[in-house]
Structure 1
Amino acid sequence: MNNSTKDFSWVGSQEDFVDKPSVLQLNHILVGRYGGNSNAGQYKNEDGCLVWYNEKEDWEFVILLDAHYTSESTKIILEQFDKEENDIKDLLSLSANQQTFKKLEDKILNMFQSEEFLSVCREVKGETACLIVVRKDKYVWWFSVGDCILCLFHQELAALGQYQLNQRQFYEWIGQVNTFEQEVPCYTVGRRELRQGENHLFLTTDGLIECPNEPYSNSKDIYNVVNNMNDDESNIWSMLKNIRNNDVRDSTTIVSWKINISKVATIPSDQ
Protein backbone atom coordinates (compact mmCIF):
# COMPACT_ATOMS: atom_id res chain seq x y z
CA MET A 1 0.00 0.00 0.00
CA ASN A 2 1.20 3.51 -0.73
CA ASN A 3 1.74 6.05 2.01
CA SER A 4 -1.63 7.59 1.17
CA THR A 5 -4.61 5.77 2.65
CA LYS A 6 -6.42 6.58 -0.58
CA ASP A 7 -4.26 4.32 -2.75
CA PHE A 8 -4.07 0.55 -2.75
CA SER A 9 -2.35 -1.87 -5.10
CA TRP A 10 -1.88 -5.64 -4.87
CA VAL A 11 -0.64 -8.53 -7.01
CA GLY A 12 -1.35 -12.15 -6.11
CA SER A 13 2.34 -13.03 -6.18
CA GLN A 14 2.84 -10.72 -3.16
CA GLU A 15 0.31 -12.60 -1.03
CA ASP A 16 -1.73 -15.43 -2.54
CA PHE A 17 -4.58 -15.96 0.01
CA VAL A 18 -4.70 -19.65 -0.93
CA ASP A 19 -7.01 -21.30 1.66
CA LYS A 20 -7.26 -17.92 3.43
CA PRO A 21 -10.15 -15.62 2.47
CA SER A 22 -9.62 -11.95 3.28
CA VAL A 23 -11.77 -8.81 3.23
CA LEU A 24 -10.05 -5.43 3.42
CA GLN A 25 -11.89 -2.15 3.99
CA LEU A 26 -10.53 0.97 2.27
CA ASN A 27 -12.81 3.72 3.53
CA HIS A 28 -16.12 2.97 1.71
CA ILE A 29 -14.56 0.37 -0.63
CA LEU A 30 -14.24 -3.33 0.16
CA VAL A 31 -11.64 -5.64 -1.40
CA GLY A 32 -12.29 -9.36 -1.05
CA ARG A 33 -9.59 -11.88 -1.95
CA TYR A 34 -9.40 -15.66 -1.99
CA GLY A 35 -6.65 -17.61 -3.70
CA GLY A 36 -8.56 -20.86 -4.06
CA ASN A 37 -8.33 -24.24 -2.35
CA SER A 38 -5.03 -26.07 -2.12
CA ASN A 39 -6.94 -29.37 -1.85
CA ALA A 40 -8.37 -28.62 -5.32
CA GLY A 41 -4.85 -28.13 -6.67
CA GLN A 42 -4.33 -24.40 -6.26
CA TYR A 43 -0.90 -23.13 -5.25
CA LYS A 44 -0.67 -19.57 -6.64
CA ASN A 45 -2.73 -16.43 -7.24
CA GLU A 46 -2.44 -14.45 -10.48
CA ASP A 47 -5.11 -11.83 -9.76
CA GLY A 48 -4.41 -8.21 -8.95
CA CYS A 49 -6.16 -4.95 -8.28
CA LEU A 50 -5.62 -1.24 -7.86
CA VAL A 51 -7.91 1.16 -5.98
CA TRP A 52 -7.69 4.95 -5.98
CA TYR A 53 -10.34 7.26 -4.60
CA ASN A 54 -10.82 10.92 -3.77
CA GLU A 55 -13.85 11.86 -1.70
CA LYS A 56 -13.38 15.60 -2.18
CA GLU A 57 -13.31 15.27 -5.98
CA ASP A 58 -16.02 12.59 -5.87
CA TRP A 59 -14.47 9.70 -7.78
CA GLU A 60 -13.20 6.14 -7.54
CA PHE A 61 -10.78 4.48 -9.97
CA VAL A 62 -10.44 0.69 -9.84
CA ILE A 63 -8.50 -1.86 -11.90
CA LEU A 64 -9.25 -5.57 -11.59
CA LEU A 65 -6.93 -8.12 -13.20
CA ASP A 66 -7.17 -11.88 -13.74
CA ALA A 67 -4.07 -13.42 -15.31
CA HIS A 68 -3.07 -16.96 -16.13
CA TYR A 69 0.21 -18.85 -16.43
CA THR A 70 1.99 -16.24 -14.25
CA SER A 71 1.13 -12.92 -12.58
CA GLU A 72 3.74 -11.05 -14.64
CA SER A 73 1.14 -9.44 -16.93
CA THR A 74 -0.81 -8.21 -13.90
CA LYS A 75 2.34 -6.70 -12.44
CA ILE A 76 3.36 -4.77 -15.57
CA ILE A 77 -0.09 -3.20 -15.96
CA LEU A 78 -0.09 -1.96 -12.36
CA GLU A 79 3.43 -0.62 -12.84
CA GLN A 80 2.30 1.24 -15.95
CA PHE A 81 -0.57 2.90 -14.08
CA ASP A 82 1.75 3.75 -11.21
CA LYS A 83 3.93 5.67 -13.68
CA GLU A 84 0.94 7.55 -15.10
CA GLU A 85 -0.82 8.09 -11.77
CA ASN A 86 -0.51 11.89 -11.68
CA ASP A 87 -1.79 12.37 -15.24
CA ILE A 88 -4.76 10.07 -14.66
CA LYS A 89 -5.69 11.72 -11.38
CA ASP A 90 -5.53 15.12 -13.10
CA LEU A 91 -8.14 13.86 -15.57
CA LEU A 92 -10.28 12.45 -12.76
CA SER A 93 -10.28 15.86 -11.06
CA LEU A 94 -12.09 17.40 -14.05
CA SER A 95 -15.86 17.77 -14.04
CA ALA A 96 -17.89 14.76 -15.17
CA ASN A 97 -18.71 15.30 -18.83
CA GLN A 98 -18.33 13.53 -22.15
CA GLN A 99 -14.91 15.05 -22.87
CA THR A 100 -13.48 13.94 -19.54
CA PHE A 101 -14.33 10.29 -20.17
CA LYS A 102 -13.09 10.58 -23.76
CA LYS A 103 -9.76 11.96 -22.54
CA LEU A 104 -9.52 9.10 -20.06
CA GLU A 105 -10.16 6.53 -22.77
CA ASP A 106 -7.56 8.14 -25.04
CA LYS A 107 -5.03 8.19 -22.19
CA ILE A 108 -5.49 4.49 -21.44
CA LEU A 109 -5.33 3.54 -25.12
CA ASN A 110 -2.11 5.51 -25.52
CA MET A 111 -0.64 3.69 -22.54
CA PHE A 112 -1.58 0.22 -23.79
CA GLN A 113 -0.54 0.96 -27.39
CA SER A 114 2.80 2.60 -26.63
CA GLU A 115 5.75 0.77 -28.12
CA GLU A 116 7.46 0.71 -24.73
CA PHE A 117 4.52 -1.11 -23.10
CA LEU A 118 4.02 -3.48 -26.04
CA SER A 119 7.71 -4.39 -25.90
CA VAL A 120 7.46 -5.22 -22.18
CA CYS A 121 4.35 -7.36 -22.85
CA ARG A 122 6.22 -9.45 -25.41
CA GLU A 123 8.71 -10.51 -22.72
CA VAL A 124 6.27 -11.67 -20.03
CA LYS A 125 4.90 -15.15 -19.45
CA GLY A 126 1.12 -15.25 -19.72
CA GLU A 127 -1.57 -12.63 -20.16
CA THR A 128 -4.37 -11.02 -18.18
CA ALA A 129 -7.95 -9.87 -18.40
CA CYS A 130 -8.21 -6.23 -17.38
CA LEU A 131 -11.26 -4.30 -16.16
CA ILE A 132 -10.94 -0.57 -15.41
CA VAL A 133 -13.87 1.18 -13.73
CA VAL A 134 -14.30 4.86 -12.90
CA ARG A 135 -17.17 6.34 -10.92
CA LYS A 136 -17.35 10.12 -11.19
CA ASP A 137 -20.35 12.12 -9.97
CA LYS A 138 -23.49 10.23 -11.15
CA TYR A 139 -21.76 8.26 -13.90
CA VAL A 140 -19.81 5.03 -14.14
CA TRP A 141 -17.39 4.38 -17.01
CA TRP A 142 -15.57 1.17 -17.81
CA PHE A 143 -12.84 -0.16 -20.09
CA SER A 144 -12.70 -3.94 -20.34
CA VAL A 145 -10.39 -6.46 -21.98
CA GLY A 146 -11.47 -10.04 -21.30
CA ASP A 147 -13.88 -11.65 -18.87
CA CYS A 148 -13.92 -9.78 -15.56
CA ILE A 149 -17.41 -8.69 -14.48
CA LEU A 150 -18.89 -5.33 -13.52
CA CYS A 151 -22.31 -5.26 -11.85
CA LEU A 152 -24.49 -2.31 -10.94
CA PHE A 153 -27.08 -3.13 -8.30
CA HIS A 154 -30.00 -0.73 -7.83
CA GLN A 155 -33.57 -1.57 -6.89
CA GLU A 156 -35.04 0.12 -10.00
CA LEU A 157 -32.75 -1.88 -12.29
CA ALA A 158 -33.23 -5.11 -10.34
CA ALA A 159 -37.00 -4.74 -10.76
CA LEU A 160 -36.39 -4.92 -14.53
CA GLY A 161 -33.96 -7.83 -14.27
CA GLN A 162 -30.78 -5.82 -14.92
CA TYR A 163 -27.77 -6.50 -12.72
CA GLN A 164 -24.65 -6.63 -14.91
CA LEU A 165 -23.15 -3.77 -16.93
CA ASN A 166 -20.52 -5.41 -19.09
CA GLN A 167 -20.49 -8.69 -20.99
CA ARG A 168 -17.70 -11.20 -20.50
CA GLN A 169 -15.47 -11.44 -23.55
CA PHE A 170 -13.36 -14.56 -23.99
CA TYR A 171 -10.02 -14.81 -25.86
CA GLU A 172 -9.10 -11.20 -25.06
CA TRP A 173 -6.01 -10.40 -23.01
CA ILE A 174 -3.13 -8.03 -22.41
CA GLY A 175 0.34 -9.52 -22.10
CA GLN A 176 2.19 -12.21 -24.03
CA VAL A 177 -0.99 -12.66 -26.08
CA ASN A 178 -2.11 -9.07 -26.52
CA THR A 179 -5.20 -7.55 -28.13
CA PHE A 180 -3.22 -4.35 -28.69
CA GLU A 181 -0.85 -6.19 -31.02
CA GLN A 182 -3.72 -6.81 -33.44
CA GLU A 183 -4.47 -4.69 -36.49
CA VAL A 184 -7.76 -3.88 -34.77
CA PRO A 185 -7.44 -4.01 -30.96
CA CYS A 186 -10.54 -5.50 -29.33
CA TYR A 187 -11.89 -4.13 -26.06
CA THR A 188 -15.15 -2.81 -24.63
CA VAL A 189 -15.90 0.69 -23.34
CA GLY A 190 -19.15 1.73 -21.69
CA ARG A 191 -20.80 4.53 -19.75
CA ARG A 192 -23.84 4.44 -17.52
CA GLU A 193 -25.87 6.97 -15.60
CA LEU A 194 -26.36 5.93 -12.00
CA ARG A 195 -29.89 5.97 -10.61
CA GLN A 196 -31.07 8.23 -7.82
CA GLY A 197 -30.56 6.62 -4.42
CA GLU A 198 -28.18 3.81 -3.49
CA ASN A 199 -26.05 2.33 -6.27
CA HIS A 200 -23.82 -0.66 -5.57
CA LEU A 201 -20.85 -1.29 -7.87
CA PHE A 202 -19.49 -4.82 -7.70
CA LEU A 203 -16.46 -6.08 -9.66
CA THR A 204 -15.27 -9.67 -9.64
CA THR A 205 -12.88 -12.04 -11.36
CA ASP A 206 -14.30 -15.29 -12.70
CA GLY A 207 -13.38 -17.53 -9.77
CA LEU A 208 -16.57 -16.43 -8.05
CA ILE A 209 -18.89 -17.20 -10.95
CA GLU A 210 -17.17 -20.39 -12.14
CA CYS A 211 -17.09 -22.01 -8.72
CA PRO A 212 -18.18 -25.69 -8.59
CA ASN A 213 -21.94 -26.03 -8.00
CA GLU A 214 -22.29 -22.49 -9.40
CA PRO A 215 -23.64 -20.61 -6.36
CA TYR A 216 -22.93 -17.27 -8.08
CA SER A 217 -22.98 -18.14 -11.78
CA ASN A 218 -25.61 -15.48 -12.47
CA SER A 219 -25.25 -11.84 -11.43
CA LYS A 220 -28.74 -12.07 -9.92
CA ASP A 221 -27.36 -14.66 -7.48
CA ILE A 222 -24.77 -12.12 -6.34
CA TYR A 223 -27.44 -9.43 -6.02
CA ASN A 224 -29.54 -11.68 -3.80
CA VAL A 225 -26.61 -12.03 -1.39
CA VAL A 226 -25.53 -8.38 -1.28
CA ASN A 227 -29.11 -7.14 -1.07
CA ASN A 228 -29.88 -8.94 2.19
CA MET A 229 -29.98 -7.32 5.61
CA ASN A 230 -26.35 -8.05 6.53
CA ASP A 231 -23.59 -5.49 6.18
CA ASP A 232 -21.50 -5.45 3.01
CA GLU A 233 -18.36 -6.84 4.62
CA SER A 234 -20.28 -9.81 6.06
CA ASN A 235 -21.81 -10.51 2.65
CA ILE A 236 -18.42 -10.67 0.94
CA TRP A 237 -17.07 -12.91 3.71
CA SER A 238 -20.10 -15.14 3.17
CA MET A 239 -19.44 -15.47 -0.57
CA LEU A 240 -15.73 -16.18 -0.14
CA LYS A 241 -16.38 -18.82 2.51
CA ASN A 242 -19.08 -20.38 0.36
CA ILE A 243 -16.79 -20.81 -2.65
CA ARG A 244 -14.13 -22.23 -0.34
CA ASN A 245 -16.67 -24.75 0.94
CA ASN A 246 -17.50 -25.64 -2.67
CA ASP A 247 -13.84 -26.52 -3.34
CA VAL A 248 -13.12 -23.68 -5.75
CA ARG A 249 -9.70 -23.85 -7.32
CA ASP A 250 -9.53 -20.57 -9.22
CA SER A 251 -8.73 -17.38 -7.35
CA THR A 252 -11.38 -14.71 -6.75
CA THR A 253 -10.93 -10.98 -6.26
CA ILE A 254 -13.86 -8.67 -5.51
CA VAL A 255 -14.00 -4.88 -5.32
CA SER A 256 -17.29 -3.50 -4.05
CA TRP A 257 -18.67 -0.14 -2.95
CA LYS A 258 -21.91 1.82 -2.63
CA ILE A 259 -22.63 5.37 -3.75
CA ASN A 260 -25.70 7.43 -2.90
CA ILE A 261 -26.78 9.69 -5.76
CA SER A 262 -29.04 12.63 -4.94
CA LYS A 263 -29.46 13.84 -8.52
CA VAL A 264 -32.52 12.76 -10.46
CA ALA A 265 -31.85 10.11 -13.13
CA THR A 266 -33.39 9.80 -16.58
CA ILE A 267 -36.98 8.51 -16.66
CA PRO A 268 -39.47 7.98 -19.53
CA SER A 269 -41.27 11.09 -20.82
CA ASP A 270 -44.69 9.65 -19.93
CA GLN A 271 -43.91 9.27 -16.23
Structure 2
Amino acid sequence: MNNNIKDFSWVGSQENFVDSENIQYLSHIIVGRYGGNSKAGQYKNEDGCLVWFNEIEDWEFVMVLDVHNTAESAEKVLRLFENEKAQIKHLLSMETVQKTFKTLEKKILSMFQSKEFLSTCRNVQGETACLKIVIRKDKYIWWFSVGDCILYLFHPELSALGQYQINQRQFYEWIGKVNTFEQEVPCYSLGIKELRQGENRLFLTADGLIECPNEPYLNPRNIYDSFIISKEEESIKTLFQNIQENNVRDSTTIISWKVNILKEVTLPSNQK
Protein backbone atom coordinates (compact mmCIF):
# COMPACT_ATOMS: atom_id res chain seq x y z
CA MET A 1 0.00 0.00 0.00
CA ASN A 2 1.29 3.43 -0.94
CA ASN A 3 -0.72 6.43 0.20
CA ASN A 4 1.66 9.01 -1.26
CA ILE A 5 1.46 8.34 -5.00
CA LYS A 6 -0.51 11.07 -6.75
CA ASP A 7 0.15 10.09 -10.36
CA PHE A 8 -0.42 6.48 -11.38
CA SER A 9 -0.86 4.74 -14.71
CA TRP A 10 -0.79 1.11 -15.77
CA VAL A 11 -1.55 -1.06 -18.76
CA GLY A 12 -1.94 -4.83 -18.71
CA SER A 13 1.05 -5.43 -20.96
CA GLN A 14 3.25 -4.28 -18.04
CA GLU A 15 1.84 -6.84 -15.59
CA ASN A 16 -1.19 -8.94 -16.40
CA PHE A 17 -2.43 -10.30 -13.02
CA VAL A 18 -3.85 -13.40 -14.72
CA ASP A 19 -5.09 -15.75 -11.95
CA SER A 20 -4.24 -13.12 -9.35
CA GLU A 21 -5.67 -9.95 -7.89
CA ASN A 22 -3.95 -6.72 -6.98
CA ILE A 23 -5.54 -4.10 -4.76
CA GLN A 24 -3.75 -0.92 -3.76
CA TYR A 25 -4.57 2.47 -2.28
CA LEU A 26 -3.46 5.74 -3.79
CA SER A 27 -4.32 7.91 -0.80
CA HIS A 28 -8.15 7.74 -0.68
CA ILE A 29 -8.49 6.04 -4.08
CA ILE A 30 -8.49 2.26 -4.38
CA VAL A 31 -7.37 0.53 -7.58
CA GLY A 32 -8.21 -3.13 -8.11
CA ARG A 33 -6.93 -5.31 -10.92
CA TYR A 34 -7.72 -8.93 -11.76
CA GLY A 35 -6.44 -10.47 -14.97
CA GLY A 36 -8.99 -13.23 -15.49
CA ASN A 37 -8.74 -17.03 -15.29
CA SER A 38 -6.18 -19.01 -17.26
CA LYS A 39 -8.48 -22.06 -16.90
CA ALA A 40 -11.09 -20.13 -18.90
CA GLY A 41 -8.50 -19.40 -21.59
CA GLN A 42 -7.11 -16.06 -20.45
CA TYR A 43 -3.42 -15.42 -21.05
CA LYS A 44 -3.11 -11.62 -21.30
CA ASN A 45 -4.56 -8.42 -19.85
CA GLU A 46 -5.57 -5.58 -22.15
CA ASP A 47 -7.02 -3.21 -19.54
CA GLY A 48 -5.43 0.06 -18.51
CA CYS A 49 -6.00 2.86 -16.03
CA LEU A 50 -4.77 6.27 -14.96
CA VAL A 51 -5.22 8.12 -11.66
CA TRP A 52 -4.29 11.72 -10.85
CA PHE A 53 -5.49 13.66 -7.83
CA ASN A 54 -4.81 16.77 -5.78
CA GLU A 55 -6.18 16.75 -2.24
CA ILE A 56 -5.42 20.44 -1.63
CA GLU A 57 -7.23 21.60 -4.78
CA ASP A 58 -9.88 18.93 -4.17
CA TRP A 59 -10.10 17.06 -7.46
CA GLU A 60 -9.58 13.61 -8.97
CA PHE A 61 -8.97 12.68 -12.60
CA VAL A 62 -9.29 8.97 -13.37
CA MET A 63 -9.51 6.80 -16.46
CA VAL A 64 -10.31 3.14 -17.18
CA LEU A 65 -9.56 1.54 -20.56
CA ASP A 66 -10.66 -1.87 -21.89
CA VAL A 67 -8.86 -2.91 -25.05
CA HIS A 68 -9.13 -5.81 -27.47
CA ASN A 69 -6.63 -7.54 -29.75
CA THR A 70 -3.54 -5.92 -28.17
CA ALA A 71 -2.85 -3.40 -25.40
CA GLU A 72 -1.10 -1.09 -27.88
CA SER A 73 -3.99 1.37 -28.24
CA ALA A 74 -4.26 1.76 -24.45
CA GLU A 75 -0.54 2.51 -24.31
CA LYS A 76 -0.96 5.23 -26.95
CA VAL A 77 -3.92 6.84 -25.12
CA LEU A 78 -2.07 6.85 -21.79
CA ARG A 79 1.00 8.35 -23.43
CA LEU A 80 -1.17 11.06 -25.00
CA PHE A 81 -2.50 12.06 -21.58
CA GLU A 82 0.91 11.86 -19.91
CA ASN A 83 2.26 14.25 -22.55
CA GLU A 84 -0.55 16.72 -21.81
CA LYS A 85 -0.53 16.21 -18.04
CA ALA A 86 0.80 19.64 -17.06
CA GLN A 87 -1.81 21.51 -19.08
CA ILE A 88 -4.66 19.24 -17.94
CA LYS A 89 -3.67 19.74 -14.30
CA HIS A 90 -3.58 23.48 -14.87
CA LEU A 91 -7.16 23.36 -16.14
CA LEU A 92 -8.19 21.24 -13.15
CA SER A 93 -6.83 23.92 -10.83
CA MET A 94 -9.11 26.65 -12.19
CA GLU A 95 -11.22 28.38 -9.58
CA THR A 96 -14.66 27.69 -11.00
CA VAL A 97 -15.91 24.17 -11.66
CA GLN A 98 -17.90 25.32 -14.69
CA LYS A 99 -14.81 26.76 -16.38
CA THR A 100 -12.79 23.63 -15.58
CA PHE A 101 -15.33 21.31 -17.17
CA LYS A 102 -15.88 23.46 -20.27
CA THR A 103 -12.18 23.91 -21.00
CA LEU A 104 -11.35 20.26 -20.34
CA GLU A 105 -14.03 19.10 -22.75
CA LYS A 106 -12.48 21.23 -25.50
CA LYS A 107 -8.99 20.09 -24.54
CA ILE A 108 -9.77 16.36 -24.59
CA LEU A 109 -11.63 16.60 -27.89
CA SER A 110 -8.72 18.45 -29.46
CA MET A 111 -6.31 15.78 -28.18
CA PHE A 112 -8.30 12.91 -29.70
CA GLN A 113 -8.84 14.78 -32.98
CA SER A 114 -5.28 15.97 -33.47
CA LYS A 115 -3.68 14.90 -36.75
CA GLU A 116 -0.70 13.44 -34.93
CA PHE A 117 -2.79 11.23 -32.63
CA LEU A 118 -5.11 10.07 -35.43
CA SER A 119 -2.05 9.15 -37.49
CA THR A 120 -0.60 7.22 -34.54
CA CYS A 121 -3.86 5.28 -34.10
CA ARG A 122 -3.93 4.18 -37.75
CA ASN A 123 -0.72 2.24 -37.17
CA VAL A 124 -1.64 0.37 -33.97
CA GLN A 125 -2.97 -3.16 -33.72
CA GLY A 126 -6.43 -3.27 -32.15
CA GLU A 127 -8.67 -0.71 -30.50
CA THR A 128 -9.40 0.68 -27.06
CA ALA A 129 -12.86 -0.82 -26.89
CA CYS A 130 -13.92 1.57 -24.19
CA LEU A 131 -12.54 4.62 -22.51
CA LYS A 132 -14.00 6.29 -19.45
CA ILE A 133 -12.65 9.55 -18.08
CA VAL A 134 -14.12 10.82 -14.82
CA ILE A 135 -13.30 14.10 -13.09
CA ARG A 136 -14.57 14.96 -9.63
CA LYS A 137 -14.22 18.59 -8.55
CA ASP A 138 -16.10 20.13 -5.64
CA LYS A 139 -19.57 18.51 -5.47
CA TYR A 140 -19.75 17.59 -9.16
CA ILE A 141 -18.57 14.80 -11.42
CA TRP A 142 -17.90 15.14 -15.15
CA TRP A 143 -17.41 12.15 -17.41
CA PHE A 144 -16.34 11.53 -20.99
CA SER A 145 -16.95 8.09 -22.42
CA VAL A 146 -16.11 6.19 -25.58
CA GLY A 147 -17.43 2.64 -25.49
CA ASP A 148 -18.76 0.53 -22.69
CA CYS A 149 -16.85 1.07 -19.45
CA ILE A 150 -19.24 1.88 -16.61
CA LEU A 151 -19.45 4.58 -13.95
CA TYR A 152 -21.58 4.01 -10.87
CA LEU A 153 -22.51 6.47 -8.14
CA PHE A 154 -23.57 4.85 -4.86
CA HIS A 155 -25.51 6.93 -2.34
CA PRO A 156 -28.48 5.94 -0.10
CA GLU A 157 -30.77 8.62 -1.57
CA LEU A 158 -30.11 7.41 -5.11
CA SER A 159 -30.30 3.75 -4.12
CA ALA A 160 -33.77 4.34 -2.64
CA LEU A 161 -34.85 5.49 -6.12
CA GLY A 162 -33.12 2.61 -7.88
CA GLN A 163 -30.34 4.71 -9.42
CA TYR A 164 -26.80 3.34 -9.41
CA GLN A 165 -25.41 3.56 -12.94
CA ILE A 166 -24.51 6.98 -14.31
CA ASN A 167 -23.73 6.26 -17.96
CA GLN A 168 -25.26 3.95 -20.50
CA ARG A 169 -22.84 1.51 -22.12
CA GLN A 170 -22.19 2.36 -25.75
CA PHE A 171 -21.09 -0.29 -28.25
CA TYR A 172 -19.23 0.05 -31.55
CA GLU A 173 -17.17 2.98 -30.32
CA TRP A 174 -13.39 2.72 -30.24
CA ILE A 175 -10.10 4.58 -30.26
CA GLY A 176 -7.33 2.85 -32.20
CA LYS A 177 -7.08 1.12 -35.58
CA VAL A 178 -10.82 1.63 -35.89
CA ASN A 179 -11.41 5.09 -34.48
CA THR A 180 -14.67 6.88 -33.74
CA PHE A 181 -12.77 10.18 -34.01
CA GLU A 182 -11.94 9.52 -37.67
CA GLN A 183 -15.60 9.99 -38.56
CA GLU A 184 -17.06 13.19 -39.94
CA VAL A 185 -18.85 13.52 -36.59
CA PRO A 186 -17.05 11.76 -33.70
CA CYS A 187 -19.22 9.67 -31.40
CA TYR A 188 -18.85 9.84 -27.63
CA SER A 189 -20.96 10.63 -24.58
CA LEU A 190 -20.42 12.99 -21.68
CA GLY A 191 -22.29 14.40 -18.74
CA ILE A 192 -22.20 16.24 -15.44
CA LYS A 193 -23.90 15.23 -12.21
CA GLU A 194 -24.17 16.78 -8.79
CA LEU A 195 -23.18 14.50 -5.94
CA ARG A 196 -25.50 14.11 -2.96
CA GLN A 197 -24.95 15.41 0.54
CA GLY A 198 -23.08 12.96 2.75
CA GLU A 199 -20.97 10.02 1.60
CA ASN A 200 -20.86 9.28 -2.13
CA ARG A 201 -18.97 6.34 -3.60
CA LEU A 202 -17.71 6.55 -7.17
CA PHE A 203 -17.01 3.23 -8.85
CA LEU A 204 -15.56 2.70 -12.34
CA THR A 205 -15.14 -0.70 -13.89
CA ALA A 206 -14.25 -2.41 -17.15
CA ASP A 207 -16.82 -4.87 -18.43
CA GLY A 208 -15.26 -8.09 -17.10
CA LEU A 209 -17.13 -7.57 -13.84
CA ILE A 210 -20.46 -7.22 -15.64
CA GLU A 211 -20.07 -9.87 -18.35
CA CYS A 212 -18.90 -12.60 -15.99
CA PRO A 213 -20.60 -16.01 -16.44
CA ASN A 214 -23.80 -16.27 -14.34
CA GLU A 215 -23.80 -12.44 -14.18
CA PRO A 216 -23.37 -11.99 -10.40
CA TYR A 217 -22.94 -8.21 -10.83
CA LEU A 218 -25.18 -7.44 -13.77
CA ASN A 219 -27.50 -5.82 -11.22
CA PRO A 220 -25.53 -2.87 -9.78
CA ARG A 221 -27.41 -3.23 -6.48
CA ASN A 222 -25.19 -6.27 -5.81
CA ILE A 223 -22.07 -4.10 -6.12
CA TYR A 224 -23.60 -1.42 -3.89
CA ASP A 225 -24.54 -4.02 -1.27
CA SER A 226 -20.99 -5.39 -1.17
CA PHE A 227 -19.73 -2.06 0.19
CA ILE A 228 -22.44 -1.99 2.86
CA ILE A 229 -21.55 -5.48 4.07
CA SER A 230 -17.77 -4.98 4.40
CA LYS A 231 -14.98 -2.41 4.16
CA GLU A 232 -13.87 -1.24 0.74
CA GLU A 233 -10.75 -3.38 0.29
CA GLU A 234 -12.60 -6.49 1.49
CA SER A 235 -15.52 -5.57 -0.77
CA ILE A 236 -13.35 -5.44 -3.88
CA LYS A 237 -11.66 -8.71 -2.88
CA THR A 238 -15.13 -10.26 -2.66
CA LEU A 239 -16.02 -8.96 -6.12
CA PHE A 240 -12.87 -10.52 -7.57
CA GLN A 241 -13.37 -13.81 -5.69
CA ASN A 242 -16.93 -14.13 -6.98
CA ILE A 243 -16.04 -13.57 -10.62
CA GLN A 244 -13.10 -15.95 -10.26
CA GLU A 245 -15.40 -18.62 -8.83
CA ASN A 246 -17.73 -18.04 -11.79
CA ASN A 247 -14.80 -18.73 -14.14
CA VAL A 248 -14.56 -15.29 -15.71
CA ARG A 249 -12.12 -15.06 -18.58
CA ASP A 250 -12.08 -11.32 -19.18
CA SER A 251 -9.89 -9.07 -17.05
CA THR A 252 -11.44 -6.55 -14.67
CA THR A 253 -10.07 -3.20 -13.54
CA ILE A 254 -11.79 -1.18 -10.81
CA ILE A 255 -11.21 2.36 -9.52
CA SER A 256 -13.27 3.48 -6.53
CA TRP A 257 -13.24 6.24 -3.95
CA LYS A 258 -15.48 8.05 -1.47
CA VAL A 259 -16.38 11.74 -1.52
CA ASN A 260 -18.07 13.37 1.47
CA ILE A 261 -20.19 16.38 0.49
CA LEU A 262 -21.02 18.92 3.20
CA LYS A 263 -22.50 21.62 0.96
CA GLU A 264 -26.21 21.99 0.26
CA VAL A 265 -27.42 20.05 -2.77
CA THR A 266 -30.46 20.22 -5.01
CA LEU A 267 -33.74 19.10 -3.44
CA PRO A 268 -37.37 19.43 -4.56
CA SER A 269 -39.10 22.54 -3.26
CA ASN A 270 -41.41 20.58 -0.98
CA GLN A 271 -38.45 19.01 0.87
CA LYS A 272 -36.60 22.21 1.73
Give the TM-score range, shorter chain.
over 0.9
Structure 2 matches for 1:193-232, cutoff 5 A? 193-228=194-229, 230-232=230-232
Please give the secondary structure, in 1, of the residue aligned with 2:158.
helix
Superposition deviation, residue 97 in structure 1:
2.7
Counterpart AA for 1:137: D
Superposition deviation, residue 22 in structure 1:
1.2
Counterpart AA for 2:28: H
2:11 maps to which residue?
11
Please give the secondary structure, in 2, of the residue aligned with 1:142.
strand
1:267 maps to which residue?
267
Structure 2 matches for 1:60-139, cutoff 5 A? 60-128=60-128, 129-139=130-140
**TM-score using structure 1 length:** 0.97
The 2-side partners of 1:221 and 1:176 are apart by 36
Are 1:63 and 1:133, in contact at CA under 8 Å, matched by a contact in 2?
A: yes
Please give the secondary structure, in 1, of the residue aligned with 2:256.
strand
Counterpart AA for 1:249: R
- CA deviation map 1:70-123 (0-9, x unaligned): 000100000000000000000111124322201000000000000000000000
Superposition deviation, residue 227 in structure 1:
2.3
* Structure 2 residue 266 is matched with structure 1 residue 257: no
Superposition deviation, residue 242 in structure 1:
1.0
1:160 maps to which residue?
161
Structure 2: runs of 5+ lacking an equivalent: none
Please give the secondary structure, in 2, of the residue aligned with 1:75.
helix
Counterpart AA for 1:205: A
- CA deviation map 1:96-155 (0-9, x unaligned): 432220100000000000000000000001101110000001000000000000000000
Superposition deviation, residue 220 in structure 1:
1.6
Superposition deviation, residue 222 in structure 1:
1.0
Are 1:19 and 1:37, in contact at CA under 8 Å, matched by a contact in 2?
A: yes
Counterpart AA for 1:52: W
Please give the secondary structure, in 2, of the residue aligned with 1:270.
helix
Counterpart AA for 2:148: D
The 1-side partners of 2:106 and 2:162 are apart by 33
Are 1:130 and 1:145, in contact at CA under 8 Å, matched by a contact in 2?
A: yes
Structure 1: runs of 5+ lacking an equivalent: none
2:23 maps to which residue?
23
Are 1:96 and 1:137, in contact at CA under 8 Å, matched by a contact in 2?
A: no
Moved more, 4-13 or 186-195: 4-13
Are 1:112 and 1:180, in contact at CA under 8 Å, matched by a contact in 2?
A: yes
Are 1:96 and 1:136, in contact at CA under 8 Å, matched by a contact in 2?
A: no
Moved more, 95-104 or 195-204: 95-104
Are 2:97 and 2:138, in contact at CA under 8 Å, matched by a contact in 1?
A: no
Are 1:198 and 1:259, in contact at CA under 8 Å, matched by a contact in 2?
A: yes
* Structure 2 residue 42 is matched with structure 1 residue 42: yes
The 2-side partners of 1:95 and 1:146 are apart by 31
* Structure 2 residue 138 is matched with structure 1 residue 146: no
Q: Number of paired residues?
A: 267
The 1-side partners of 2:240 and 2:255 are apart by 13
**TM-score using structure 2 length:** 0.97
Are 2:132 and 2:149, in contact at CA under 8 Å, matched by a contact in 1?
A: yes
Instruction: Among all aligned residue pairs of Structure 1 and Structure 2, give the percentage whose two residues are the same amino acid.
Output: 67
Counterpart AA for 1:180: F
CA-atom RMSD in angstroms: 0.8
1:246 maps to which residue?
246
Counterpart AA for 1:246: N
